[in-house]
Amino acid sequence: MVKAQIDHKDITSSLEDYLETIFELVRDRKVARVRDIAEARQVKASSVTPAMRRLSRMGLIKYERREFIELTAEGEKLARRVYSRHQILERFFQNFLGLNSSEARENACAMEHSLTNEAMERFVRLFEFLRGCPAGKELLQTFLHCSEVQGATRECAFDRALKQQSKRKREHSTISLFDLKPGKKGRVIQINAKGSMRRRMLDLGILPDTIIEIERIAPSGDPVWIKLGGFQLSLRKREAESVLLTTV
């Protein structure tokens, strides 16, 4: 017997989103129509029709021209899989990383399609840990507190703890990138900047754990030439001062 269906193993993100949308519509309104799908996905109805044909040929939906659309057993399985990934990612972004709900959803809905089985598994373990383990709950609280305070003063509980600790253990002390000697390397611990300056530095690749080497500092102290991941880069004095690192 010839297999007329197209393999749905390599389904596209777009089609997965259609499946997810149909899944939610059926759940909330009992039935999925072209119009509602178009509205939910923010596309024109004339884009939905060919997508439905493709899904139908893959055996993922039951679709007859001008009739209500339903998921097949196979389609529902796939829709649930995507939806499940969406859920855990959205919760991760919202409850763990602290994004607002619309941005959490935006990130989740983009990533749900590519998350591997094993990555999914690890997100689940993270939540099992956070929910089941007293230490996990505490971790989340501490992190959320630090994370929130950061936007404001950047002086939070763990900063103070670090300072106190550094008085005892000298080798663990942090130093600003600007104070690092030329030729020496450091590992970034914290980027003590705000707003667009912070974002610019992150986009340049100045991240926690990054190894940075001072190349040279202009006589006036500005700019500061650094080496980072095989490339040279120049920073303003203010920017260099805001990077806290440990020497390595």
Which of 40, 52, 212, 245 is close enough to bind DNA by CB under 7 A? 52
* Distance, CA of 76 to CA of 59 (rounded, Å): 11
Structure tokens at 80: 């649930």
Residue 77 is a binding residue for a copy of itself (CB under 8 A): yes
Structure tokens at 196: 């667009």
- Looking at beta carbons only, is 64 or 171 nearer to DNA? 64
| Strand boundaries in the chain, DSSP class E | 61-62, 70-71, 175-176, 185-191, 211-217, 224-228, 231-235, 243-247
Which of 14, 45, 103, 181 is close enough to bind a copy of itself by CB under 8 A? 103
Residue 44 is a binding residue for DNA (CB under 7 A): yes
Those residues whose C-beta lies under 8 Å from the C-beta of residue 109, and which sit 6 or more positions away, are 17, 86, 90
Burial status of residue 82 (CB atoms within 10 A of its CB: 0-12, 13-18, 19 or more) = buried
Residue 26 is a binding residue for DNA (CB under 7 A): no
Which range touches a copy of itself (CB under 8 A), out of 43-51, 58-66, 110-118, 215-223? 110-118
Structure tokens at 209: 């754990």
- Looking at beta carbons only, is 66 or 167 nearer to DNA? 66
Interface residues with Mn ion (CB under 5 A) are 17, 20, 86, 109, 112
Which of 10, 50, 203, 220 is close enough to bind a copy of itself by CB under 8 A? 203
What residues make contact with DNA under the rule CB under 7 A?
A: 6, 12-15, 33-36, 42-52, 54, 65-66
